[in-house]
Amino acid sequence: MIRACIFDLDGVIVDTAHYHFLAWQRLAQELGVPFSEEDNERLKGVSRMRSLEIILELGNLTLDMATKEELATKKNGWFVDYVNAIRPEEIFPGVKELIHQIKSRGLKVGLASSSKNAQRVIDLLQIESLFDAVVDGTMITHSKPHPEIFLLAAERLGLKPIECVVFEDAEAGVEAALAAGMRCVGVGSPEQLGNAHHIIPRTGQYTLEKLTQLEHLKP
Ligand code: B16
Ligand code: MG
């Protein structure tokens, strides 16, 4: 029995994934590392430091920890500058309506984002009240694809993992949800998210009928 939906933030509720890409691209350019949108798929859902390490790997660069910290902080400054301009209307179309429908069916709703900036984004979008539990990058030790964030979200919702469905746009996020023993709806392309139980192009296109069908699929 499905009793909750847990939403990722960046790329599922709002297009902050694009701002992450712009900030990483700017840093990659400074480092002289070619960095495409396709490369960026590997950064989605993983931690800030792991993202930087992937860029350094792409450029065959090795840097000491202090320099890496400095670069990660620089990228975050640019990201925060982009994000501070976010307005409540930027929530993806249909997402609020979907969450209200889920709630009207008596299900709980959680948010699980690897981002340490998640609370800022939630405040700017004014969506805190939509969620029964919020878990972000400041509360976990292991980032996606580790299942920790989703297991913690289920715990905060007072539910078992098998009772939760995750909405994710990142390959690492789909992996994390499946490792947590949850069903997963991938938001994006089947090439990247092929392991998810259902795949939809945009979050707002999901329906309660599909959620019912999910109950018949094994986690
Ligand atoms: P920050 P999500 C993730 O958020 C992003 O997808 C990923 O690209 C980013 O590196 C990670 O948060 C950490 O973000 O640097 O803001 O702490 O998709 O899990 O909501
Ligand atoms: Mg995401």
pLDDT digits (tens, 9 = 90+) for 134-163: 999 999 999 999 999 999 999 999 999 999
Q: What is the pLDDT of the chain when averaged over all its residues?
A: 96
Closest CA to ligand 1's atom 14:
115
Question: Tens of pLDDT along 93-136?
Answer: 999 999 999 999 999 999 999 999 999 999 999 999 999 999 99
Residue 15 Cα to ligand 2 middle (Å): 9
Structural domains of the chain ordered from first start: 4-15+88-214 (3.40.50.1000), 17-83 (1.10.150.240)
Closest CA to ligand 1's atom 16:
115
| Average pLDDT over every residue of 26-37 | 97
Q: Is the pLDDT of residue 219 over 90?
A: no
- Cβ within 8 Å of residue 52, ≥6 positions away: 27, 68, 71, 72, 75
Q: Is the pLDDT of residue 55 over 90?
A: yes
pTM metric for this prediction: 0.94
Query: Is 15 one of the annotated active-site residues of the chain?
Result: no
Residue 180 Cα to ligand 1 middle (Å): 19
Atom of ligand 1 nearest to the CA of 137: 17
